[in-house]
Structure 1
Amino acid sequence: MTSTTDHTQQPREAEEAREGEGTTGTGPDAGSGAWDDGLIARRAAAASATAGGQPVVPLLPAPHTGTPASGPDGADDDLTARLDALRELTGLSRPRVDAATLAEAGRVLDDAAARRRLSRRHTVVALAGATGSGKSTLFNTLAGVTISDTGVRRPTTSAALACSWTDGAAGLLDRLEIPGRLRRRPVQGPDGPGPLDGLVLIDLPDHDSAAVEHRAQVDRVLAHVDAVIWVVDPEKYGDALLHERYLRPMAGHAEVTFVVLNQVDRLPEDAADQVLDDLRRLLDEDGIALGEHGEPGATVLALSALTGEGVGELRDCLGQLTSERRAAARRIGADLDAAAERLRPAYVPTGRVGLSEEAREEFADRLAEAVGAAAAGQTAERAWRRNAGRACGTPWLRLWRWYEARRTPGTAERPPGGTPGAEATAARQRVEQAVRVVADEAASGLPTPWADAVREAAARGADGLPEALDGLTAPEPAPARPPRPGWWPVAVLAQVSMTLLQVVGGIWLLGQVLGVFTPDLLPPVLLMVAGILGGPCVEYGSRLAARGPARRYGADAERALRDAAAGCGRARVLDPVAAELLRYREVREQYARVLDPVGGDGARGRAGGRHVRVTELSTTGR
């Protein structure tokens, strides 16, 4: 049994532990197809519904079989919900989190399912201790008959012995692999088992035995019992092996842990109190909460199995434990806490999670830069102004430009920049840089498995993205005529009028020179001057009027190309990244349910470490 050393976990275990049946699965694979990737789509659809502006949290799956018994304060429902949440968590995480990380969670699910299928009226308690601690003597004293051998030969107990106060515990003992020849019944009075009804007591070999198989047997049985009585003696109660290998890792199992200081008859009264106080100090250093002053935690007693001193108090504690019939649920809850603590690095973010609007805008800006959206807008603006100049310029200037173009072909305006190959390479580099930056931003704060998944999704989307963006900038056939605003015909008519004035003035002046008309130079000269000066004035005015529309036309072209590039990046990169973030959000919600199935502010009187961590989990990230 392993756990954390968080003192705050201990009080809440008493509120949550309860027994019950209803889980027939034996691990994360329990259920056919219940935890595959299809959950993402189903839960995402449920999450899209809202109630009062708040997302609707999908309901947890119901217990697989059986009818759960309602424990005090709904504790049985909570344990079932936590187990179902852990099962769903492992199913959702399997494609992203390595199997070794999920192995402990699978073991807890297997053990919980196996224990809840078996008898609920029995409580399995193991007696464990070091060589010479007197646990076999205590075992015989509690049973009222000599069952386990005692003596100076070490190790005395070579195999686990079982003593069951009531019938029906065969399944539990089979699970512990205790053969029938090592199963006993205690001496009982005429009224039956009395307060120890349902108790199954196991005498284990020494945990510090020189025989390796004895230590292996102790570890195997301790992983499946409901509670443990650690028997220590005044000489080795501070043994480092006991504290480092067993007690410290079992700190989260304090409510199902008894620590008994045996052989106090060998100590003076003051010395016994001092040793007991020192034992409590060591347990506190191990992180084990002590059940004193009505607080839930480990029970610490001093007794003498040889003289019977203090044995009655231990018997009363065992009677209360068996009568409550909640030790199995407490043990499962403590195992869940330990598994959740081990999974913590894989699910708890280290910072804010998700893509901000600034990161999305920056990604769109980088893609727009890669496709040359700004240059395309400038080119469109120049083209519009050039078309306006051609339409509204003087006919003589247009004729000259036509002549120049025919005389020196190949002088058409080329877009600025280097060679096409260099531009394509630079654009590809900008696209790759944009994808790396947005992937790092999305992965920031995520646990390592999910950060890696986000980066992989972005990298997959980046394949083919430069080619897709190149398709957006492929040259298209030029339109038959440029867009014409309403004032263009007026400007063209004004230019035609100015040209007619020049032509009429010239003909009139020529006619006077040839003697056809009456000589009077002033009117034709005025007409010609008006036409010659008016044409450039109209062209200049048209050029001023074209600035605003040309700028808008270029901005529209730039925006269209930018939107197209952003849409391409969103479909190939941002959407797959968002899917991974959604998956992480789902597993994070399940992990929060493993810690606290009801959420909120402890609706059933919860307090302590798990609720604190749930608050931390819910306030970090989007």
Structure 2
Amino acid sequence: MSALTDRNGERWDDGFIARSRPKPTGEGPDDDDSDDALVRAVSGAGSDGGKVPAPPPSPEAQALRTRLDALRQLVGLSRTRILDGKSLAEAGRVLDEAAARRGLSPQHTVVAIAGATGSGKSTLFNALAGVQISETGLRRPTTAAPIACSWSDGAAGLLDRLEIPGRLRRRPRETPEAEALRGMVLVDLPDLDSAVVAHREHVDRVLALVDAVVWVVDPEKYADAVLHERYLRPLAGHAEVTFVVLNQVDRLPGEAADLVLDDLRRLLDEDGMALGEHGEPGATVLGLSALTGEGVGELRELLAQFTQEKGAATRRISADVDRAAAHLHPLYVADGHSGPEIGEAARAAFEDRLAEAVGAYAVGLAAERAWRRNAGKACGTPWLRLWRWYESRRSPRSLSGLAALAAIGRSPGAGPAPAEEEVTARQRVEQAVRTVADEAAVGLPEPWAQAVRETAVRGAERLPEALDEIAVTLGTAVAVPRAKPPRPKWWPAAVLAQAAMTLLQVFGGVWLTGQIIGVLEPRLMPPVLLMVAGIVGGPLVEWACSMAARGPARRYGQDAEQRLRQAAAGCGRARVLEPVAAELLRYREVREQYATVARLSTTRQ
């Protein structure tokens, strides 16, 4: 009896076929060369050592590659944003397993036979292989470890991935029926409800790696809760690579088998598993008896057709991607979010709050008053200017910070400030940041909403200090400018008129004084009229100038307010709005990648 050696150095019996039908000389590779044949099949090398050209990928395979690339980018973009690491871990596992499977033989289809204790799955396994491979009997559990049967060479890498040792790898009986199953690798699993924990772990591990599953149920346990709740229901999206077989139909009298099959289909429908009826894709359900052979031929034909299509691995991976996409759905899709961007209304409200924090309105009023004050200095009477100079020397001139600037626009008799004006500038800024972050996060999935809020908070850490610096430097310079504001064209004429009024007063006063001391001829009326004209004309000129200065002063104040508003808004955009917008753009990117990943599952839903 020949023997082979697996990767771990274990020697394993190549099975019952080696004893039942010795291979004639010159008919295919010797037993000692089987490992080389498997390696060549996996690597794609032909018998002459050259590479066998791979067939072009199918549209389904190309679509799957696109979805896997999108899922890989999705995971990469989301690692620092997603709080739920389990969902990303599941997506990463799907990527790893997909890469591992796609790196192995695409010419083989790995099918697992799973079932509960006493369902007859090992008997069905032997019936399909045409030889006694898996042990059967009344002892429970009977199958302790997965046993594999391969209908062709080149499946060593797939079996290594399943961790099936060489001593548990078999070949079927070579018959015309077996030739139709070339390319299939059949795995008999332990009982899924075994009392031995290791057996159940074998089942769970192998089921996550095979291309398709044949679930074997019997008339007593076909509605078992463990089967439906733990396996069939979670794997409902894998219907296209699922076969559900009702075994032991020979024990059911009359039409009882049809009734049980109908009830089984009903349970599968409740599990959410689509049934492949009327030519539609879905799970295949049929009844058979592995003991008597009834229906085994039909299952063999279905498995042969399924294997020859060579699309099971692609469908299985696609179903895994669908399942991962369903788990990721709450992380990337939320109802009510119109678009990943900050609305114009939110931007405007944020800038208004920052302008309020730096006292832009008050600074504008101060600039307007400064302009009118300069106009009064230029066009006012000398006596009034002297009085104002005296008053300015008596009043304090120290203004600094946001709090001082906020008080500029309030008149002395306006009473106490409203409650909202008593809030500090820092609190106003923090409130503005929270508000714009909350508005930007409306409708976003919670992980991305949290990321947006954290980005806004990080950007606003030094924002109050920056705004305070802008308010002190730019705001004070505007409110109390060192250089005189620009003067309108009519100012020189107003200055000349005021100078003329002053000269009239001076000339009239000198004339009257000369008459009083007897130097000039006494004529009281002319000098008095000149003085009255100068005294009355001076205020009239000043009043006319103040009326004419209102418009330019108002525009000057509005310009000053606008400059401060723009400076504060620019600081807020750079520190808060732009980082938040970048975060929303990243969400849009991952949302697009998720749409690519979930395309098939979304269509099915």
TM-score relative to the length of structure 2: 0.83
Once the two structures are TM-superposed, the CA of residue 192 in structure 1 deviates from its matched residue by 7.8
Match of 2:160 among 144, 164, 174: 174
Instruction: Quote the Cα distance in structure 2 between the aligned partners of 1:499 and 1:202.
Output: 115
1:240-259 paired onto structure 2 within 5 Å? 240-259=225-244
What is the match of residue 208 of structure 1? 193
What is the match of residue 150 of structure 2? 164
Once the two structures are TM-superposed, the CA of residue 523 in structure 1 deviates from its matched residue by 4.1
Greater Cα radius of gyration, structure 1 or 2: 2
Instruction: Quote the Cα distance in structure 2 between the aligned partners of 1:482 and 1:67.
Output: 83
Q: Quick check: 1:399 aligned with 2:391?
A: no
1:427-463 deviations in Å (ceiling 9; x for gaps): 1111111111112122222222222222221111111
1:506-559 deviations in Å (ceiling 9; x for gaps): 444455556666655554444333222221111111010111111111111111
Deviates more, 1:470-479 or 1:531-540: 470-479
Once the two structures are TM-superposed, the CA of residue 402 in structure 1 deviates from its matched residue by 3.5
Alpha carbons of structure 1 residues 293 and 67: separation in structure 2 relative to 1, 3 Å? same
Instruction: Quote the Cα distance in structure 1 between the aligned partners of 2:159 and 2:440.
Output: 51
Instruction: Quote the Cα distance in structure 1 between the aligned partners of 2:360 and 2:298.
Output: 84
Q: Quick check: 1:568 aligned with 2:571?
A: yes
Match of 1:145 among 131, 144, 162: 131
Q: Answer yes or no: is the 8 Å Cα contact 2:248–2:289 preserved in 1.
A: yes
1:415-454 paired onto structure 2 within 5 Å? 416=407, 426-454=424-452
Instruction: Quote the Cα distance in structure 2 between the aligned partners of 1:442 and 1:545.
Output: 46
Unpaired runs of 5+ in structure 2?
1-42, 44-51, 409-415
Question: Once the two structures are aligned, what percentage of the paired residues are identical?
Answer: 70
1:588-610 deviations in Å (ceiling 9; x for gaps): 121112123xxxxxxxxx7xx42
Q: Answer yes or no: is the 8 Å Cα contact 2:463–2:571 preserved in 1.
A: yes
Deviates more, 1:517-526 or 1:455-464: 517-526
Bigger RCO (CA 8 Å, 6+ sep):
1
1:169-209 deviations in Å (ceiling 9; x for gaps): 111111111111111111122x5843211111111111111
Instruction: Quote the Cα distance in structure 2 between the aligned partners of 1:278 and 1:224.
Output: 29
Q: 1:196 is paired with a residue of what secondary structure?
A: coil
Instruction: Quote the Cα distance in structure 1 between the aligned partners of 2:53 and 2:558.
Output: 67
Deviates more, 1:505-514 or 1:262-271: 505-514
Deviates more, 1:304-313 or 1:221-230: 304-313
1:83-162 paired onto structure 2 within 5 Å? 83-98=68-83, 99-162=85-148
Q: Answer yes or no: is the 8 Å Cα contact 1:157–1:205 preserved in 2.
A: yes
Instruction: Quote the Cα distance in structure 2 between the aligned partners of 1:196 and 1:337.
Output: 29
Alpha carbons of structure 1 residues 480 and 215: separation in structure 2 relative to 1, 3 Å? closer
Q: 1:201 is paired with a residue of what secondary structure?
A: strand
AA at the equivalent of 2:467 = L
Q: 1:289 is paired with a residue of what secondary structure?
A: coil
1:324-367 deviations in Å (ceiling 9; x for gaps): 00000000000001111111122113332431111111111111
Unpaired runs of 5+ in structure 1?
1-23, 25-65, 597-605, 614-622
Q: Answer yes or no: is the 8 Å Cα contact 2:368–2:553 preserved in 1.
A: yes
Once the two structures are TM-superposed, the CA of residue 139 in structure 1 deviates from its matched residue by 1.0
Q: 1:238 is paired with a residue of what secondary structure?
A: coil
Match of 2:354 among 363, 367, 381: 367
What is the match of residue 537 of structure 2? 534
Instruction: Quote the Cα distance in structure 1 between the aligned partners of 2:316 and 2:505.
Output: 106
What is the match of residue 66 of structure 2? 81
Instruction: Quote the Cα distance in structure 1 between the aligned partners of 2:257 and 2:263.
Output: 10
Match of 2:323 among 322, 333, 338: 338
RMSD: 2.5
Once the two structures are TM-superposed, the CA of residue 467 in structure 1 deviates from its matched residue by 1.0
Match of 1:188 among 171, 174, 178: 174
Instruction: Quote the Cα distance in structure 1 between the aligned partners of 2:397 and 2:67.
Output: 73
1:386-418 deviations in Å (ceiling 9; x for gaps): 111111111222233345556xx3465976379
Once the two structures are TM-superposed, the CA of residue 269 in structure 1 deviates from its matched residue by 2.9
What is the match of residue 209 of structure 2? 224
Q: 2:576 is paired with a residue of what secondary structure?
A: helix
Q: Answer yes or no: is the 8 Å Cα contact 1:131–1:206 preserved in 2.
A: yes
Q: Answer yes or no: is the 8 Å Cα contact 2:243–2:284 preserved in 1.
A: yes
Alpha carbons of structure 1 residues 470 and 69: separation in structure 2 relative to 1, 3 Å? farther
Once the two structures are TM-superposed, the CA of residue 154 in structure 1 deviates from its matched residue by 1.4
Instruction: Quote the Cα distance in structure 2 between the aligned partners of 1:399 and 1:480.
Output: 21
Instruction: Quote the Cα distance in structure 2 between the aligned partners of 1:125 and 1:204.
Output: 10
Match of 1:501 among 487, 500, 504: 504
